[in-house]
Structure 1
Amino acid sequence: MRTHATISGSELLLGVIAIRLAVLVLVGWGLTLLPRQARDSEAACVASSAARVEAQPPATTVGARVADATFDDMRLHD
């Protein structure tokens, strides 16, 4: 007597999900263990943002007072 060992749809779906989850975990751990490499595009982004900061006008005294009040408030909550 032969029996057909078939897999149900839910078992197949759970197997596919388990395999994908295992791959995601392995890729995640692999990315955290690899050393970070500096890329030319990242250096260009940093340089362009530094140029934008230099191009902005200096902060007004009203902004400085607001920043000081915010800093004092943060210091009180610590």
Structure 2
Amino acid sequence: MRTHTTISGSELLLGMIAIRLAALVVVGWSLALLPRQARNVELACTPSVAAAIETQAPVKTVGPRLVDAAFDDMLRHD
């Protein structure tokens, strides 16, 4: 005698979890087995952060007239 069974919700959920886990394992192994790109530690075009900080000009305070003029200009354009 043959019985017709349906998949319950928990079996469907476990099946979806198993498929996603298998996909993550495949992606993880493929990323692990790919050859790594060589990194050039010192780039010729960009200075180091410490050198960039040392060469920056000191911060100047902005006078109240300049702030008022910028605020008035902003209000004019609204």
The TM-score with structure 2 as length reference comes to: 0.51
Structure 1 stretches of 5 or more lacking a match?
59-78
Q: Which residue of 2 aligns with 1:35?
A: 35
Deviation >4 Å, runs of 4+: none
User: Which one-letter code corresponds to 1:51 in the other structure?
Assistant: P
Q: Which residue of 1 aligns with 2:47?
A: 51
CA RMSD of aligned residues (A): 3.0
Q: Which residue of 1 aligns with 2:23?
A: 23
User: Which one-letter code corresponds to 1:55 in the other structure?
Assistant: A
Structure 2 stretches of 5 or more lacking a match?
56-78
Q: Which residue of 2 aligns with 1:12?
A: 12
Q: Which has the larger radius of gyration?
A: 2
- Structure having the higher helix fraction is 1
Residue by residue over 1:20-74, the C-alpha shift from the partner in whole angstroms, topping out at 9 and shown as x without a partner, is 0011011101101110235xxx87xx749x425221218xxxxxxxxxxxxxxxx
